[in-house]
Amino acid sequence: MKTCSTCNCDKQESEYSVRKASPDGLSYICKACASVERKARYAARRDIELAQMREYTARNKEKIAEYQKAWAVNNKDKCNRNAVAWQKRNPEKVKVSKRNIQGRRNAAKANATPIWSGELSDFVAQQANELASMREATTGVKWHVDHVVPLRGTYVCGLHVWNNLRVISAIENMRKSNRFEVSA
């Protein structure tokens, strides 16, 4: 048992933090009192602490981003659980986000469709969609109609025309994402 110097209560040693400088190796105040003091100190200095935090973040953006990326790689399960939990708590935001993504995709497709593409491109796109549906029904594997050169790639943007369409497995398409892979 040890007496806290703040609340003067006798408490178990497990109720105290480690402090190597103390003769008994424990803090002179209990964890509960230390928490109250810490919160009071933060409340008094909140603006200063937030400014310091913003300044540190601005100075160390790369270091923080690198740490967060490494943490996410090492904690994929936790990240996935958190994402699923967030989506369950925020169904309206998810719906709006999906709508925005689909809207941007439709706009990109419209902007990438040249005036001269005409009926052939529409026909090929329709046939490609039917082929994807038939393959899915036959194999049980999901198939996508993909743009060989992405409509919104990082370095190159393709057109929504008949000779830029192909049917590939959904897994391959999601792995490819918006990248254009030059085959040698």
Domain extent, residue 155, equals 114-176
Among residues 59, 82, 104, which one ends one of the domains? 59
Among residues 59, 75, 103, which one ends one of the domains? 59
Token couple for 93: 């935001």
Q: Residue 184: what pLDDT?
A: 56
Contact 5, 11 (CB under 8 A): no
Q: Residue 5: what pLDDT?
A: 93
Rounded distance between C-alpha atoms, residue 18 and residue 2, angstroms: 13
| Count of domains observed in the chain | 2
Residue 165's Cα: distance from chain center in Å?
29
- Which among 134, 128, 137 has a CA at the least distance from the CA of 166? 128
pTM exceeding the 0.85 threshold for the entire prediction: no
Q: Residue 32: what pLDDT?
A: 95
pLDDT tens digits, one per residue of 146-164: 988 888 887 888 888 988 9
Q: Residue 183: what pLDDT?
A: 67
Q: Residue 105: what pLDDT?
A: 81
Q: What stretches in the chain show pLDDT beneath 70?
A: 183-184
**Within a domain: 55:** yes
**Within a domain: 170:** yes
